[in-house]
Amino acid sequence: MPAVTASAPGKIILFGEHAVVYGRPAIAVPVTQVKARAVVSAAPGSAAGQVLIEAPSIHQQAYLADLPADDPLKKALTLALEHLQISRPPACKVRIGSTIPVAAGLGSGAAVSVALLRAFSAFLGHPLPDDVVNALAFEVEKLHHGTPSGIDNTVITYARPVFFQRREGGNLIETFPSPQPFTVLVADTGVPSPTAAAVGDVRRAWQQDPPRYEALFDRAGELARAARKAIEAGKPHELGPLMDANHALLQEMGVSSPELERLVQAARTAGALGAKLSGGGRGGNMIALVEADQVEAVSQALLGVGAARAFMTRVEAQG
Ligand code: PMV
C-alpha cells in the first residue's frame, strides 16, 4: 500500500464576526498559505489493526487504541473507520503536521481533521467525498468547541469562500464562486485573546442597549451581503471599503484594541485597500486587502509597528 498524503488550508473570517452570533450572515475564506498535512503509510512489521499516530508539533505519539475517546485525532480516525465499516484497518502510521498557528482563529483543528479524514480514507482505498469529509469533520469540531457553527469545517473542506448564517432549524451554509483571485495579509497582534471573553462582553453590552447593538449587527450583516455580491461579481477590490466599514462597526461593538488599531492604521497608511480585525478581536489577528504589488510594503509596515507575524494568502479564483 503506497503512502498517502492529504492537506487542508486554514481559514479567516472576512466579514460579520460577532454579528453572526445574533443571526446575521458572515463570510469566511480559506487561508491556503498555511496548511495541515497528514501522511498515512503502511507499517508492515506491526499487527493488523495497529494505528500509530505521530504529531511531532504537539509532541504526541500514541497508538489509536490507547488514546481517550475525546481525543480529536482518535475521533476523526474512528469516524472514518465507522463510516467505511472497517473494523480492523491494516497496520499503519499516521503522521500529522501543521503550519497553521493554533488557537489563533485560523481553523487549525478543523484543518487537521479534514487532512486526516482524506489521507486515512484514501489509504484504506475508499477516499471520502467532500460532503462526507465535511460532515465527519463537523462531528470532530464538537470536541473542540461544544457548539460549533459548522463554518470552519465547511470553508476548510471546500477551500472556497463560505457564506454562513445561523438560523432556527438549520444554519445556512453556502459556498459561492469567486471568479477573481484576491490577496489578503494576515497579521497577528501577538496578544492572546480568548474568543469566548469577547463574545461574552458583546453579549453584556447588547443586553444593556439592545437597539444600538441590533443596529450595529444589521449593518454588519448588510456588509457581508454586499461583500458576497462583490466577490461573486469578480470585483474583489470593492471589499476594501467594506472591510473598513466592518472594522468601524467592530470598534463600536467594543472589540478592537490599541494593538489592533495600530496594525489596521499601519496597513491602510501603507496602501492596503482596506483592513479590519478578524475573529473575536481584542487581540488575535487583523487582515488587510492588498494588491499583489503592495504585499511587501504592507507586510513591512505591519511588522514595523509590532505585528508578531504577518503572512499573505490568496483567495484563488473558483468558478
Ligand atoms: O476567532 P474565531 O475565528 O474563532 O471567530 C470568532 C467569531 C465570533 O463571531 C466572534 C464568534 C462566533 O462563534 O461566531
Whether the CB-CB separation of 112 and 151 falls below 8 Å is answered with: no
Percent of the chain at pLDDT > 70 equals 100
Non-local (6+) Cβ contacts of 163 within 8 A are 25, 26, 27, 172, 173, 174, 175, 176, 224, 228
Q: What angle do CA 34, 36, 42 make, to 5 degrees?
A: 145
Q: In this predicted model, what pLDDT tens digit does every residue of 55-74 receive, in sequence order?
A: 998 888 999 999 999 999 99
pLDDT of residue 191: 92
pLDDT of residue 269: 98
The atom number, within ligand 1, closest to the CA of 199 reads: 10
State residue 195's pLDDT score: 83
Nearest by Cα to 258 from 311, 191, 308: 191
Average pLDDT on 156-179 reads: 93
- 89-126: per-residue pLDDT in tens? 999 999 999 999 887 789 999 999 999 999 999 999 99
Pocket test for ligand 1, best of 11, 13, 102 (most atoms within 8 A of CB): 13
Mean pLDDT of 18-32: 95
Tell whether the model's pLDDT for residue 244 goes beyond 80: yes
Q: What pLDDT, on a 0 to 100 scale, did the predictor assign at position 68?
A: 95
In tens, the pLDDT along 48-57 reads: 999 999 999 8
**CB-ligand 1 contact for 62 (6 Å cutoff):** no
Ligand 1 atom nearest to 280, measured from its CA: 10
Q: 1-10, 12-21, 74-83, 141-150: lowest mean pLDDT where?
A: 141-150
Residue 161 has pLDDT above 80, yes or no: yes
For residue 29, pLDDT beyond 90 = yes
Compute the distance between CA of residue 254 and CA of residue 279 in angstroms, rounded to an integer: 13
By most ligand atoms within 8 Å of CB, the mutation choice from 11, 14, 15, 17 for ligand 1 is 17
Question: How remote is the C-alpha of 227 from its chain's centroid?
Answer: 18
pLDDT band at residue 308 using 50, 70 and 90 as cut-offs: very high
**Residue-level pLDDT at 94:** 98
Q: Is 283 in the pocket of ligand 1 (CB under 6 A)?
A: no
Known catalytic membership, residue 131: no
* Ligand 1 and 279: CB distance under 6 A: yes
Q: What is the pLDDT of residue 196?
A: 83
- Is the CB of 240 within 6 Å of ligand 1? no
CB of 20 within 6 A of ligand 1: the answer is yes
135 CA to centre of ligand 1 in angstroms? 20
pLDDT of the residue at 103: 75
- Whether residue 105 has its Cβ less than 6 Å from ligand 1: yes
Rounded to whole angstroms, the Cα distance separating 60 from 281 reads 30
In angstroms, the CA 220 to CA 249 distance is 7
- Record the cell numbers describing residue 90, joined without a space: 491494516
Ligand 1 atom at minimum distance from 19 CA: 9
Q: Is the CB of 17 under 6 A from ligand 1?
A: yes
**Ligand 1 pocket, residue 99 CB under 6 Å:** no
Residue 234 has pLDDT above 80, yes or no: yes
Average pLDDT of the residues of the chain: 95
Residue whose C-alpha is closest to residue 155's, from 32, 30, 317, 280: 30
Q: Which range has the worst mean pLDDT, 141-145, 163-167, 271-275?
A: 141-145
Ligand 1 mean position to 74 CA, how many Å? 25
| Centroid of ligand 1 to alpha carbon of 4 (angstroms) | 33
Q: Is the CB of 109 under 6 A from ligand 1?
A: no
Angle at 317 between CA 316 and CA 319, to 5 degrees: 140
Which pLDDT score, from 0 to 100, does residue 104 have?
Answer: 79
| pLDDT given for residue 147 in this prediction | 75
Q: According to the model, what pLDDT value does residue 128 have? A: 98
| Residue range 132-142, pLDDT digits in tens | 999 999 999 99
What pLDDT score does 285 carry?
Answer: 94
Rounded CA gap, 206 and 216, in Å?
Answer: 10
With bands split at pLDDT 50, 70 and 90, how would you rate the model's confidence at 129?
very high
Classify residue 90 by its DSSP letter. P
pLDDT for residue 171: 87
Is the per-residue pLDDT at 144 higher than 80? no
Instruction: Check: CB of residue 311 under 8 Å from CB of residue 186.
Output: yes
Q: Which amino acid is at 77?
A: L
Report whether pLDDT(281) > 90.
Answer: yes
185 membership: H or E segment, kind and range: strand 182-188
Does the pLDDT at position 251 exceed 90?
yes
Pocket test for ligand 1, best of 15, 20, 163 (most atoms within 8 A of CB): 20
Measured CA to CA, the distance from residue 222 to residue 100 in angstroms comes to 30
Q: Tell me the whole-structure pTM to 2 decimals.
A: 0.92
